[in-house]
Each structure stands twice: as structure tokens, then as C-alpha cells.
Chain A
Amino acid sequence: MNPELSDAVAASWSIPLWASLSLLLTAIVYWRGWHVARLTRPAELPSWRAGCFFGGLATIWLAIASPLDVLGSWLLLAHMAQHLLLMSVAPPLLLLGAPTVPLLRGLPRGWVRDGLGPLFRSRTVHAIARFIVHPATGWIAMNLAYLGWHVPAAYELALRSPGWHEVEHACFLFTSLLFWWTVVQPWPSRAHWSRWAVVPYLVSADLANTALSAFLAFSNRALYPTYTAAPRIFGLSAMQDQAGAGAFMWVVGSAIYLVPAVGVTMSLLSRRRPRHALVQIGGAPAAGRVRAAQQLDLLRVPVVGALLRARYGRQLLQAVSLLVMCIVIAHGFIGHPMAAMNLAGVLPWNIVRALGVLALLFVGNLFCMACPFTLPRELGRRFGWARFRWPQWLRVKWIGVGLMVVFFFGYERFALWNSPARTAWLLIAYVGAAFLVDTFFRGASFCKYVCPIGQFNFVGSLISPTTLQIRSASTCNTCATRDCIRGNTQQRGCELELYLPEKHSNADCTLCMDCVKACPHDNIGIVTRGMTRDVLASEPTSSLGRLHRRMDVAVAALVLVLAGFANAAAMVGPGGAFLAAAGQRMPWLATGVGSFAGVLVVTLAATGIVWLVSQAGRGGESRREAFCRGALALVPLGMGMWAAHLLFHLVMAAPALLPLVQQSGADFGFRWLGAPHWSAAADLLQGNGLLQLQLLFLDGGLLLSLYLAWRMAAGPRAGGRLLAVAPLVLLTAALYAFGFWVLLQPMQMRGAMMGAM
């Protein structure tokens, strides 16, 4: 093979997005469950089992992402090697990892207990499972798939159609898992037949393999026309390729069946091993250790934990973001007027906003943690003017909610995304406001009562998968100093007035880490938890009370949801056309006052609709509580829409970051960064991958919202509960359908420089 060809082959990796993500997710779940299950079952789950499982996942990924996949359409030999990996290498490795228990223990406990538990108790499911893992089912399914897909018509179909090719691979993998189940018999499954039956089971499967291999090797015609027409790049004729593939399957395939057959025979003839004794864990209560191991504590993760707990860790993050913000402001004033070629047009609206929302969904309120606006206030506090307490009558979220509405309105009305200079002024105003409020008022009054971004993040973080909470209640019960809220001589306490033992929600938490640093017992962590916990919780949380009684929090949630859909709809063609037509019919609506009045009317109307639909699910609670619950139940759908929409901007803008930095360097006079080469900005996600990811976010939001609506609806009987939840479900479904339609529309290029064609 010439060097250019070998280089091209080596570079022909085609990474399938969804399969790679699925494998990664499976690896994470297994790893988590293996850690937990190993505490009580170390003999059944030694390290080599985890190694086998990860090896199996890696083999699948190699089979579908490596150059083998590309070569498979030209060389039968390469295709057979790919099939061998999927049928005979990956499945036994996965099963040697004893995956059942680790995968179940790796899932959130609530899902297994409430979701899968009833299924595992179902007789129907038991019958289906018994049938699926029966040796006869495995043997027949694997051999049918193996022989069936090698029939020329089926094989050609798979070669012609990528979709059928994936179906073929899935058939091979899943039927082989069933076949190898009987051979490996992964713990804790029990054998249906005597272990001796495994020997003829394997040998008979080898006979089928031998028959097909011999047919391929000795056939005097090329069985698959695609390979006859394919370029013979390696100097092998189609017949030579076919004979080679047959020989490869015969030799390697037979070895894969016969070696385990010999191994099983040897183990049966050797002395029987003693049964494992029950493992005692010296003195420590295993259940407690298991519970602790199930919760990932970010503050105990190396490097990240050390940075967050460091005395000036947060300030370091804020200083970096403040520096970036200063550059953005400067570039907003002196840089290119085209938003896509200006840091102020891209960084705040397309990158930071999107990363902030994704962080809320996957980690927590990281934007507030690294907030650049609140660092300058530390300077103001040195003047000692912060003597006033925030007025009692203003200790609600209404100012913040109002500013959220103004912010979203101003974003569209003044086309902030399209004006770097206006964006720069907005950032300056934001820093100024934070500086003024917190210079004269004690605590973090700006964050808690004024900041619209903060209110958005507080509501969004209600469904974050992590929370700042105490590690041990007994430690707090015996604590006399309460440094986490009062502070001490070295470290101030929580400025948002959240007392950690009574903090049951993410609302109002900026992850500033003050409480972590102040706690003398090292009793605070950032731990994982269920995403629905905050919304479902009924106990009062520190400083806010019961979330279900807070109208201001509920309206903030509604504004977040409405803005998510309105913001996305305004940037698609039909949305823009609708607004333009409305402006032409009612000219007063196109004026500043008129459009703001329109926004207020829509917000009030939406509030009224949610009020009405949530009353049906009311049990013994008040109308206000029912409304608050209904509004909070919509938060996941709203966040799903925000994530789907902003992901579009992130994917479009991220590849243009390098030329953007070069452009800003040139604008500031640093020409050594090089001239911006805009057309080199290629898309991050090719094809429909972006749309699929967007729809996945929306689907996730819908399901979580429906689940919350179901859980919060009153009524013990299923029929009554269905009726109670129906109006809210219909509203949620209508919003979802609208969001789905919006995502399918061509979105206009706004502030982002899109990839070159």
C-alpha cells in the first residue's frame, strides 16, 4: 500500500455521535454502579470485570468508528473483521463484566425503585426475560442473524443503505449478547441447562460458522456485486478478497467458539471451587457507605474540588471572567460593527449564555459562581458604606422578575445580539448596578433581589443535578458556631442568608463557596441529586420558605418558560413574519411602548392560562399553591427549549472563535495573532446531528415536566389523577409541539458567523 493511501485509511475515522454518546453514558453508569456494588460484593466484581466491560464498549466503538467501517464498503475482509468484533469479541467482554448489577446500581435509585422495580416484579416481564436468555433463543437468534444477513440480497441492502447497515450491526450485537449469555453466564444469572450443554452449544454454532466460511472461501463467483464494482485499492481482486474473508471467518471465528468450549470442559473436569463466603465489611455499616458512594461530591473530585475550596478559588474564576468581560466591552466599542465579527456580538450571547444554560442542566449554577459583575463590588465594600439592610418590603423577587421581562424585551427590541456597542453599554450598566447596590446595602442584595440573570439561573438551577448541601446532619446538630451563615474572622458566611442545614433547594444559591470555606467541620459538599427534587419538595427552604407558596418564584419560572419559546420563535422566518404583520396591522404595536405593553399582556395572559389549567390538579391546597406548582412543573420544558435554542448558537459560533480572536487581536493592534480566516470555520455538527440534539433536549424537558405534573397532581386513583393532570398535560404538550415546530423552521443567522459552505 502506498503511503498516501495508508495515511488516508488511517485518517478515515467516522465518529457516530449518538452511538458514541450512548457508549459513554453506559460506561459512566457502569462505573458508578460498579463502585457502589463492589462495596458489598468485592468477590463478584473484581477490577478485571470492569476492565472487560470497558474493553467490550471500546471494541464496539472501534468497530463502528474506526477505518474498518469505511473500508467495509470496499473490502469484504474488512467488513468481516468488523462483524467479528461486534459478534464475537465485544459481547463476551461485555458479559464478563457482569453488567446487570452494576448497570442497575449505577442508575439513580429512584428510577430503579419506582420505574424499573414494578417491571421487574411483573410476571409478563419475567416470562419475556426467561424466554430471551434461554439458550435455545440465543443460539437460534444469533445463527439466524448471522446467516440471514449474509444472504446476498440482505447484505447488499445493508451496503447500500446506512440505516439498514446500522440495523444489521444492531442485530449482530444483540443476538450475540443473547448467544454469549449462556456461555459466560454473568453473575448473578442462573443457568437454564447443565454447564455441560455449553460444549455442544458452542461446537454447533461453530458448524454454522464453518459452513458459511467455507462457502465464501470456495465459491467460484463473487457473491456480493458491490465488491465487484468497488475500486480494488489494495491490489486484491474481488474473488481474492472473498476467499480471504472466508478464511478469516473460518480460522478466527472457529477459534473464538472452540477455545471457550475447551475452557468450559476443563473447568468442569477440574475440582469444584468453594462457594464464596458472604463478605463482611469490618464494622462499617455497608448501607451507609453505599449511600455515600452513590452521591458524587464535586468538592472531593481532585483538582476541581481543590480549586473550588481554595481561599481565592472563586475570585480567580471571577477575575478571569472579569478580564474577558473587559476585553469584550473594549472590543464592543472599537471592533468590527458586524456582530459576528465582534467579541461583544458573539461571546455573551452565543457562547456564554449557551454554556450557562447547559451548565445548569448538567452541573449547576456555574455562571453565578464565576460571575464577573460581582467582583468589583468587593472593592466598593472596602469603602465601608454598606450599612443599610435591603428594605423588608423589597425582600421578594418582583424587582428581579420585572427586570427579567425588561431584559428579554430589550434583547429583541434593541437587537442587542446585533449591536456590539449596545452590548458593551449593557455590560457596563450591569457592573455599575451591582457595584451601587452592594456598595450601599449589606449582603448580596443585588444577586438575591435585583439581578435578572441571577433570577433566571436560580429558577433554572431548580432542576440542576447537583446541589450544595451538608454531608452529615449530626455534625450540624452539634455545631455551636454556625459559621456557614454567620462567618468567622477568616471567612464571611453566606451572604444570601441560606442556612445550610435548612437549605433544601438550589434557589438563591450562587455557589459562591463562602459557606464551604467557613465551615470548620468540612461538612459541606456539592453532591448529585434527583433533578425533580426541588420542585417536588414540600419542606420550607432556608430564606425562601416553601417554594410552592412563592408567587414571585412561580412568575419568574413562567417568564423563563415563555421567554424560551418566544426568543426562539422570533428568530425563525414565520415568527419574524408574524411580528412584522402584527406591526403593520397595528402600528401602535411597533412602537417601544406598544410592544412592551404587548409583552406585558402576553405575560399576564400566559399567567392566567397557567393559573386556570393548574387548578384542576388542586387537592387540599390553595389556588395559589396549585398555580405555583403548575408554573414550576413547566420549568424543565422551558429549560429544554432554551438549551435547544442556544445549542444552535453555540454550535454555529464556536468554530468561529479562532478567527474572532484573530479579528479582535487585529482590532486591538496585535497583528501577530494572524489574519482572521473566516471561511475556515467549519461546523461542529454536520448533517442533522444538531437538530437531533436540539430535539433531544426538548424531549427531555417535556418528559420531566409531564413527570412533575403527574407527581404533583392530587387524587389517589389513577382515573382521578389523570383528569386532574389533563389540563396541565395538554398545555405542556401544546408548548412542546410549538417548540418542535420552531426547531424545524430555518433559523436566521443572527449574531453567529456560520460555517463555510
Chain B
Amino acid sequence: MRQAAGPFVVSLFTTPESLAVGPADVSVLVEEQGSVLLDADVFVTLTPEYASIAPVIAHLSHSHATNRLMEDAIVQLPRAGRWRAVVHVSEAGREASATTDLTVANHSARRGAIWLFAVLPLCAIALFAWVQTEKRRALRARMLRPA
């Protein structure tokens, strides 16, 4: 999301790419007239659209961010579904907020996407072991065969 909010331009980045239940990285870049603001106070409020659970509120800071131009926090998303993200920015007495919607997938969607890749090496190893066994059996049979 990149939105003009009052005097600021707010960019919100989240990973993983397909948000899923569990930890998520939230980074915000605040700009004003083309230059990056480094001393803005940034909160993100994440509210699930239909569930009756408390919103997730995170205070973002530069100290958490590996990219020091950004403010960052790791949040825990407890439930799948549509979430509304509101980024509150305040700097030198000025305040503004930007809003966007996020879709959070459930655990099973993520598990379904990756289980095959965890099992794949095991299948390949099993196949390799079978091939090696067959090779040894063939070799033994050749050695036992009368000349």
C-alpha cells in the first residue's frame, strides 16, 4: 500500500507474501515531500472484519527494522480472514492515518502449499535407496552365477 495521508505519504509492506495465521512482518515507510521521515511515531492497528477478537496493535520502531529508513514490527495474526490495517502516523503534532484491507489465509492453506516440498526429498531418498538395493541384488546375482 502506498497512500497519501495528510501531509505524509505512507507505504506499508507485509511479509510473508501471502499473509497467513502466525507471525508477520509489518514495515512502514513515511515520507513527506519526497524525503523520508525518520522521527515519526507509527502505530499499526489490525482489526479482523467479522471475528469478535481484540484488534492487534503494534508500535513500529526503527530498532526492529534492518532497513533503518523504515519502522518495523513483527505481529502475530491469530485468525484467518479479512483484516483492516490502519497505519497511524504522528510527527511534530501532526497526525494522519492510512487504511487498507489485508487477507490472511489459515494455517492449512500454507501447510497445503508446502507439505509436498518437505516430503519430496524423503521420496527421492527412498527411491534412491530402492535403486541401490536393486543394484546390489543384481550384482550379487551376477557374482553367484556360474561362469
Q: A718 near B25 (CB under 8 angstroms)?
A: no
Q: A703 near B12 (CB under 8 angstroms)?
A: no
Does B1 reach chain A (CB closer than 8 Å)?
A: yes
A430 to B18, CA, bound (A): 38
Does B36 reach chain A (CB closer than 8 Å)?
A: yes
Which of B44-52, B89-97, B111-119 lies at the binding interface? Answer: B111-119
Does A571 reach chain B (CB closer than 8 Å)?
A: yes
Does B136 reach chain A (CB closer than 8 Å)?
A: yes
Q: B16 near A749 (CB under 8 angstroms)?
A: no
Between A336, A688, A745, the greatest number of chain B beta carbons within 10 A of the residue's beta carbon is seen for A688
Q: A119 near B131 (CB under 8 angstroms)?
A: yes
Which residue of chain A has the shortest Cβ distance to B118 in the bound complex? A740
- Interface flags for A171-206 (1: CB within 8 Å of B; 0: not) read 000000000000000000000000000000000000
> SS class of chain A's interface: helix, strand, loop or mixed?
helix
A702 to B118, CA, bound (A): 11
A703 to B126, CA, bound (A): 12
Which residue of chain B has the shortest Cβ distance to A710 in the bound complex? B128
Q: B23 near A121 (CB under 8 angstroms)?
A: no
Q: B64, B114, B121: which contacts A702 (Cβ < 8 A)?
A: B121
Given A163-B112, A337-B36, A691-B113, is A418 in contact with B68 using a C-beta cutoff of 8 Å? yes
Does A699 reach chain B (CB closer than 8 Å)?
A: yes
B4 nearest CB across to chain A (Å): 11
Given A339-B69, A571-B66, A747-B15, is A678 in contact with B117 using a C-beta cutoff of 8 Å? no
The interface residues of chain A lying within 8 Å CB-to-CB of B128 are 115, 707
- Interface flags for A563-606 (1: CB within 8 Å of B; 0: not) read 00000001101001000100000000000000000000000000
Does A550 reach chain B (CB closer than 8 Å)?
A: no
The interface residues of chain A lying within 8 Å CB-to-CB of B15 are 746-749, 754
Q: B36 near A338 (CB under 8 angstroms)?
A: yes
Q: B17 near A683 (CB under 8 angstroms)?
A: yes
Q: B12, B66, B109, B131: which contacts A576 (Cβ < 8 A)?
A: B66
A736 nearest CB across to chain B (Å): 8
Given A418-B67, A573-B74, A747-B25, is A757 in contact with B114 using a C-beta cutoff of 8 Å? no
The interface residues of chain A lying within 8 Å CB-to-CB of B64 are 576
B116 nearest CB across to chain A (Å): 8
The interface residues of chain B lying within 8 Å CB-to-CB of A695 are 114, 117-118
A678 to B113, CA, bound (A): 29
A104 to B70, CA, bound (A): 53
The interface residues of chain A lying within 8 Å CB-to-CB of B138 are 118, 121
Q: B25 near A573 (CB under 8 angstroms)?
A: yes
Chain B residues 14 to 35 lying within 8 A of chain A, measured CB to CB, are: 14-18, 23-25, 27, 29, 34-35
The interface residues of chain A lying within 8 Å CB-to-CB of B113 are 687-688, 691-692
Q: A339 near B67 (CB under 8 angstroms)?
A: yes
Does B39 reach chain A (CB closer than 8 Å)?
A: no
B109 nearest CB across to chain A (Å): 8
Q: B17, B35, B118: which contacts A690 (Cβ < 8 A)?
A: B17
Q: A745 near B23 (CB under 8 angstroms)?
A: yes
Does A706 reach chain B (CB closer than 8 Å)?
A: yes
Given A338-B29, A746-B74, is A692 in contact with B114 using a C-beta cutoff of 8 Å? yes
Q: B25 near A748 (CB under 8 angstroms)?
A: yes
Given A691-B114, A718-B132, A748-B25, is A757 in contact with B1 using a C-beta cutoff of 8 Å? yes
Q: B14 near A748 (CB under 8 angstroms)?
A: no
Does A478 reach chain B (CB closer than 8 Å)?
A: no
A427 to B128, CA, bound (A): 46
Given A679-B1, A699-B121, A702-B121, is A747 in contact with B16 using a C-beta cutoff of 8 Å? yes
- Interface flags for A716-757 (1: CB within 8 Å of B; 0: not) read 001000000000000000001000100011111111001011
Q: A571, A580, A679, A746: which contacts B2 (Cβ < 8 A)?
A: A679
Does A122 reach chain B (CB closer than 8 Å)?
A: yes
The interface residues of chain B lying within 8 Å CB-to-CB of A748 are 15, 25, 27, 65-67, 72
Does B110 reach chain A (CB closer than 8 Å)?
A: yes
A683 to B67, CA, bound (A): 20
Which residue of chain A has the shortest Cβ distance to B65 in the bound complex? A748
Does B102 reach chain A (CB closer than 8 Å)?
A: yes
Q: A756 near B18 (CB under 8 angstroms)?
A: no
Q: A749 near B23 (CB under 8 angstroms)?
A: no
A114 to B128, CA, bound (A): 10
Q: A118-B131, A691-B17, A748-B15 are in contact. List 20 more A-B contacts (CB 8 A).
A: A118-B134, A337-B36, A415-B66, A415-B68, A573-B25, A573-B74, A678-B2, A683-B17, A691-B18, A691-B114, A692-B117, A699-B120, A703-B124, A707-B128, A746-B74, A747-B25, A748-B27, A750-B67, A754-B15, A757-B100
- Provide a sorted-by-A list of 18 A–B residue pairs whose CB atoms are within 8 angstroms: A116-B131, A119-B131, A415-B68, A573-B25, A576-B66, A688-B110, A688-B114, A691-B17, A703-B125, A707-B128, A718-B136, A746-B14, A748-B25, A749-B15, A749-B27, A749-B67, A749-B70, A757-B14
| Chain A residues with a Cβ under 8 A of chain B | 114-116, 118-119, 121-122, 163, 336-339, 415, 418, 570-571, 573, 576, 580, 678-679, 683, 685-688, 690-692, 695-696, 699, 702-703, 706-707, 718, 736, 740, 744-751, 754, 756-757
| Chain B residues with a Cβ under 8 A of chain A | 1-2, 11-18, 23-25, 27, 29, 34-36, 63-70, 72, 74, 100-102, 109-110, 112-114, 117-118, 120-121, 124-125, 128, 130-132, 134-136, 138
List 8 A-B pairs, minimum CB-CB distance, nearest first: A688-B113, A695-B117, A118-B134, A746-B25, A749-B13, A118-B135, A573-B74, A679-B2
